[in-house]
Amino acid sequence: MLGLFRRARAEANRSAGEGRVSVVIPLYNHAAYIGPAIESVLSQGAVLREVIVIDDGSRDDSAAVMMRLAQRDSRIRFRSQENQGAHATINAGMAECSGEFVAILNSDDIYLPGRLDALALRLDAEPEAALAASGMAFMDGQGREISNDWYAEVLAFHRATPDMATALVNGNFLMTTSNFLFRRDLVSRIGGFAALRYTHDLDFALRALALGHRIALLDAPLLRYRIHGSNTISEDHRKVRAEWAASAAAYLTLLWDRPDAPEPDWSRVGPMSEVLGRHDLARAVLPCMAYLRRHGTGRLDLAPLLSDEAFRAQLLGWV
């Protein structure tokens, strides 16, 4: 543990250079949390280029709080829009970015010191990787440190599983878009976030892997994820499972069926099948794959699957 702390501290003291990272913050009903989130971004130092905050139709005082915060630093750009959902808000923010790298921070989470430098440096060191993420710590609604047994379990599965995509389908140990820092041109290569309420982060990471882009990981816990009653992941678990299945199906369809796909590593089929069986997802994944094939794409940001209400109703029955 002491070694991990020392490595994290050493990473935090290194600089990746000036003005390389744009941060996108989708803000929604987090008047109580946006202040600490903004402070954690501004404290990242010279590597920060800009902070693009979009209020997605909040019903609390989020916009008013953010307007005051925006006066603190010229790097902050803030605007409001009618509610469109997290995926659309993040996509809109990314379209306004000018940095070499894009990072995302949900408005109730917090970056720990040195995070942006450390992840940018990791991508500098691994030019074949397009996205970087770190370990995580957890806090409650009052900012008190808490444990997360589920995270520890899925992280242990990842460490024992050579295929990252299989580990992500088993349990999304990346957890959140707040854990993403990626090269800005990745979006032009794989597309933006799909219209998913619960798994737009998982789908984006799996799509990157399916299209041949590596994900670099740092063990150091450089992000504090806030767990509270209004986290979307705590909503109807059947709907979460439906999106989980659709994201896994999109990954497999892209990996196996796109015209330019290389020969798959068939040794990974067994572990993936075991994961789908363990979570009772196969009966939902298979018809989703058939749907995506029929419509000629494995990309949920392009396929009509997510807007097909009749199919989505069927999908809820399969999960």
Are the C-beta atoms of residues 22 and 52 closer than 8 Å to each other?
yes
Give residue 104's identity as a one-letter amino acid code: I
Are the C-beta atoms of residues 264 and 256 closer than 8 Å to each other?
yes
3-state secondary structure of 126: coil
Question: Phi, psi at residue 262, to the nearest 5°?
Answer: -70, 170
C-alpha to C-alpha distance for 225 and 201, rounded to whole angstroms: 14
Q: How many residues appear in the chain? A: 319
CB atoms within 10 A of CB 73: 13
The token pair that represents 83 in the structure block: 């509610």
Sign of CA dihedral 91, 221, 233, 204: positive
What pLDDT is attached to residue 297? 87
Question: What does the angle CA 163 – CA 164 – CA 168 come to, to the nearest 5 degrees?
Answer: 125
3-state secondary structure of 32: coil
What pLDDT is attached to residue 1? 46
What pLDDT is attached to residue 6? 54
Q: Which superfamily does CATH assign the domain made up of 2-234 to?
A: Spore Coat Polysaccharide Biosynthesis Protein SpsA; Chain A (3.90.550.10)
Question: Phi, psi at residue 105, to the nearest 5°?
Answer: -140, 115
What pLDDT is attached to residue 301? 96
What pLDDT is attached to residue 266? 87
Instruction: List the chain domain ranges.
Output: 2-234, 237-318
Nearest to 200 by CA among 90, 311, 53, 57: 90
CB atoms within 10 A of CB 88: 18
Residue with tokens 């942006």: 116
Distance of CA 57 to the CA centre of its chain: 21
Are the C-beta atoms of residues 304 and 295 closer than 8 Å to each other?
yes
Residue with tokens 């986290």: 231
Sign of CA dihedral 265, 266, 272, 276: positive
Alpha helices in 98-198 (DSSP H): 115-125, 149-160, 164-170, 186-190
CB atoms within 10 A of CB 167: 22
Residue with tokens 């994944």: 285
What pLDDT is attached to residue 316? 95
Decide: residue 236, CB within 10 A, 0-12 exposed, 13-18 middle, 19+ buried.
Answer: exposed
Nearest to 95 by CA among 240, 217, 193: 193
Decide: residue 113, CB within 10 A, 0-12 exposed, 13-18 middle, 19+ buried.
Answer: middle
Q: What string of pLDDT tens digits covers the 319 residues of the chain?
A: 455 545 555 555 689 999 999 999 999 999 999 999 999 999 999 999 999 999 999 999 999 999 999 998 999 999 999 999 999 999 999 999 999 999 999 999 999 999 999 999 999 999 999 999 999 999 999 999 999 999 999 999 999 999 999 999 999 999 999 999 999 999 999 999 999 999 999 999 999 999 999 999 999 999 999 998 665 555 678 999 999 999 999 999 999 988 788 888 888 899 999 999 999 999 999 999 999 999 988 999 999 999 999 999 999 999 9
3-state secondary structure of 145: strand
Computed on alpha carbons and rounded to an integer, the radius of gyration of the chain in Å comes to 19
Are the C-beta atoms of residues 288 and 252 closer than 8 Å to each other?
no
Residue with tokens 């970015």: 97
